[in-house]
Amino acid sequence: MTPGPEAATNVLPLKTDEDVVRLRKQVREQLVALGFSLIEQTKMITAASELARNTLRYGGGGEAHINQVANEGRRGLSLSFIDQGPGIEDVNLALTDGYTSGGGLGLGLSGAKRLADDFVIDTAPGRGTTVKIAKWKIF
Amino acid sequence: MERIPILRMGRLLLVTIQVDMHDRLAMTLQDDLTNRIVNDRATGVLIDISALDIVDSFIGRMISNTAAMAKILDARTVLVGMQPAVAITLVELGLTLEGVSTALNVELGIKLLQQDNR
């Protein structure tokens, strides 16, 4: 298996609590295969766990896409969390530490953003939410 | 139903989390521990997370809440065995586990709990 920019997308459902555990396991396997350090693995898996829970709790379930990626000689792992839920009205507010609409700690989105290298969110009311994060290997 | 076992050692309760917990399992553990504090008249709770590769905000909140509930029930909670990578990630995530005592390993954790045993 030689993953490159054309490597197949690994799609995982996010419908149950157990799916979140399965996602963490898959993400770890891919990070290990790419040779990430233990600290980088831990940060990215934690970010993935936060975003997967958001997809499940606030997005009403959805799916995660896992991709090994390459860019300008760098290699990394990209994760997308996609739901068709209610979407987020005020993204800046949702990215504020401690803000929650659902009784959580309000660290999921903001924490995931800090733990990943790249963070892109695409959402609007009634249009669902897609959050894409990436971690790049440091040489 | 899937459960994390809780062991009793005198007036202490000992939990070693050895599986990657899903959220429902974490909530069950919180409920079980709170009930056991009362039923076993425990004065201390030791939670060993040395086998956990990650602690996210949900697990972190479960630990904080358990410690807060234990405190109200007159028991002290000590969290032991956190891996360095987990500690680094928790702080970056923004979770500081306020009000939770920690120790490096089970032995030191037990010592800490026995110190203030009334």
Closest approach of chain B CAs to the CA of A46, in angstroms?
A: 6
**Domain spans of chain B?**
6-115
Indicate whether A49 pLDDT > 60.
yes
Average pLDDT of chain B?
94
Taking CB atoms and an 8 Å limit, are A97 and B88 in contact across chains? no
Residues of A in contact with B56 (CB under 8 A): 46, 49-50, 53
pLDDT of residue A139: 66
Residues of A in contact with B54 (CB under 8 A): 24, 42, 45-46, 49
Top pLDDT among A83 and A3 is at: A83
Taking CB atoms and an 8 Å limit, are A104 and B58 in contact across chains? yes
Closest approach of chain B CAs to the CA of A70, in angstroms?
A: 25
Closest partner residue to A42 among B25, B89, B94, by Cβ? B89
Does residue B27 belong to the interface with chain A, where contact is any CB pair within 8 Å? no
Give the pLDDT band of residue A6 (cuts 50, 70, 90).
low
Indicate whether A3 pLDDT > 60.
no
pLDDT of residue A1: 45
Does residue B62 belong to the interface with chain A, where contact is any CB pair within 8 Å? no
DSSP string, A34-83: TT--HHHHHHHHHHHHHHHHHHHHTSSSEEEEEEEEEETTEEEEEEEEEE
Give the pLDDT band of residue A138 (cuts 50, 70, 90).
confident
Taking CB atoms and an 8 Å limit, are B88 and A28 in contact across chains? no
Closest approach of chain A CAs to the CA of B117, in angstroms?
A: 32
Indicate whether B28 pLDDT > 70.
yes
pLDDT digits (tens, 9 = 90+) for B68-97: 999 999 999 999 999 999 999 999 999 989
Instruction: Report, at the CATH architecture level, how domain B6-115 is classified.
Output: 2-Layer Sandwich (3.30)
Tell me which residue has tokens 């530490």: A97
The strands making up B12-16's β-sheet, listed across from edge to edge, are B6-9, B12-16, B44-48, B76-80, B101-103
Return the half-sphere exposure (C-beta side, CA atoms, 13 A cut-off) of residue A23. 32
Pick among B56, B63, B64, B88 to test the A interface (most A CBs inside 10 A): B56
pLDDT of residue A25: 97
The percentage of residues in chain A with a pLDDT greater than 70, rounded to a whole number, is: 94
3-state secondary structure of B44: strand
Give the pLDDT band of residue A106 (cuts 50, 70, 90).
confident
User: Which residue from A minimizes the CA distance to B21?
Assistant: A21
Closest partner residue to B93 among A18, A21, A46, by Cβ? A46
Tell me which residue has tokens 């970056």: B92
Q: Which of A21-35, A94-108, B1-15 has the least mean pLDDT?
A: A94-108
For A10-136, which CATH class? Answer: alpha beta
Give the pLDDT band of residue A2 (cuts 50, 70, 90).
very low
The percentage of residues in chain B with a pLDDT greater than 90, rounded to a whole number, is: 90
**Domain spans of chain A?**
10-136
Mean pLDDT for the stretch of residues B49-74: 95
Mean pLDDT for the stretch of residues A46-50: 97
Residues of B in contact with A111 (CB under 8 A): 57, 92-95
pLDDT of residue B1: 74
